[in-house]
Amino acid sequence: MTDTTFQARVEQHRAELLAYCYRMLGSVHEAEDLVQDTMLRAWNARERYDERKASIRTWLYRIATNVCLTALEGRARRPLPSGLGPPSTDPQTPLVPDFEVPWLGPFPDTRADPADLAVRRDSLRLALITAMQALPARQRAVWVLREVLEFSAAEVAEQLGTTVTSVNSALQRARTGLNGAEVAPSSDPAALRTVEAYVRAFEAADVGALVELLTEDAILEMPPVPLWYRGRDDCAAFLRRVFALRGEGWRMMPTAANGQPAVAAYTPDGRLHTLQVFTVAGGLIAHTAVFQSPTVFEAFDLPLTC
């Protein structure tokens, strides 16, 4: 295999490797660095690659898995605010960001391989990625490699340098740890209509209409601010505060993250404010993750003004 052919075959897997590293790390920017490290290691080892022993895809995932496991050594999990403590009940609590916490970030749907997104988009959902962060790193890797990427137990054992028995045991423990985290998709037309109604109400600063679109126990959280609210009343109180502080005339630009509907929110003076990612259940919004971070905006290629 020539160097040119090798490079072309490796590059075919970049997008799916990015999604894999994101599932492991919970950060697009870290995932990009780890994919680049994977590609560099593969290039340096190209003379030792033997396609009679493994496909180039399987070989790349072995390298990527080792890179991710090394990166995760001694790392704290990446949480969202709802995973750190009880909800706030005071809408006037100061909105002070905490940059010491390695917050979980969203994944832009535009960065995924279209074929991979169509088949496996539910495995990128925020609720699942958040739950995965609580798993030990090797269980995390086993679950993704087996359940999402559909490698055989023998292939995963080879990738991790362990036994099939150990892989099956780790997979069972991972399934138990993730029980209840795999929520239904929210990309269907009805869910999108719900989000469209939410956008219209937000742009009109109509808190009453917004509340009608929330589930009774809806969650609203705002990393890097370590605050979160639960329930229609507390969410409504916080939204009233937002409009009192920023005024009316917001504009929302639709996008998508983690296989879920999302919008970029612009303040009345046209400045990019947040990326909001929605989970819709039963025609109502059950969870809104509001990200306000330059690194998130950069990952989504969002214009800073509108």
Domain identity same for 91 and 229: yes
Within a domain: 169: no
CATH code assigned at 69: 1.10.1740.10
CA distance 141 to 163: 14
Q: How far apart, in whole angstroms, are the C-alpha atoms of residue 221 and residue 81? A: 6
- Determine, yes or no, domain membership for 158: no
Q: What's the domain count of the chain?
A: 2
Reference 16, options 127, 111, 126, 90; nearest CA is 111
278 token code pair: 């929605």
Q: How far apart are CA 135 and CA 75, in angstroms?
A: 12
Residues 11, 108 within the same domain = no
For residue 155, is it within any domain?
no
Instruction: Tell me whether residue 165 is in a domain.
Output: no
Q: What is the CATH number of the domain that holds 259?
A: 3.10.450.50
Point out the domain boundary residue: 28, 48, 75.
Answer: 75
Does residue 289 belong to any structural domain of this protein? Answer: yes
- Do 106 and 59 share a structural domain? no
Query: Cis omega before residue 224 (within 30°)?
Result: yes
| Nearest residue to 72 via CA among 15, 134, 6 | 134
Please indicate, yes or no, if residue 47 is contained in any of the structural domains: yes
102 and 43 part of one domain = no
pLDDT, position 189: 82
Per-residue pLDDT tens listing for the chain (306 residues): 788 999 999 999 999 999 999 999 999 999 999 999 999 999 999 999 988 888 999 999 999 999 999 999 988 899 999 999 999 999 999 999 999 999 999 999 999 887 776 556 688 999 999 999 999 999 999 999 999 999 999 999 999 999 999 999 999 999 999 986 755 555 578 889 999 999 999 999 999 999 999 999 999 999 999 999 999 999 999 999 999 999 999 999 999 999 999 999 999 999 999 999 999 999 999 999 999 999 999 999 999 998
Classify residue 54: in a domain, yes or no.
yes
Is the separation of the CB atoms in 65 and 51 below 8 Å? Answer: no
Both 108 and 67 in one domain: the answer is: no
Domain boundary among 75, 91, 122: 75
pLDDT for res 187: 57
Same domain, 182 and 275: yes
23 and 89 part of one domain: no
Of the candidates 183, 189, 265, the one whose C-alpha atom is nearest the C-alpha of residue 219 is 183
Q: Are residues 102 and 227 in the same domain?
A: yes
Does residue 128 share a domain with residue 46? no
CA–CA distances in Å: residue 248 to residues 28, 129, 187: 32, 34, 28
Let me know whether 32 and 120 are in one domain: no
Q: Are residues 36 and 125 in the same domain?
A: no
- Statement to judge: residues 85 and 227 lie in one domain: yes
Assigned domain for 36 exists? yes
| Domain span holding position 221 | 79-135+178-306
Which of 23, 55, 75 terminates a domain? The answer is 75
pLDDT of residue 305: 95
Per residue in 139-190, pLDDT (tens digit) is 999 999 999 999 999 999 999 999 999 999 999 999 999 986 755 555 578 8
Concatenated DSSP letters of 263-300: EEEE-TTSBEEEEEEEEEETTEEEEEEEE--HHHHHHT
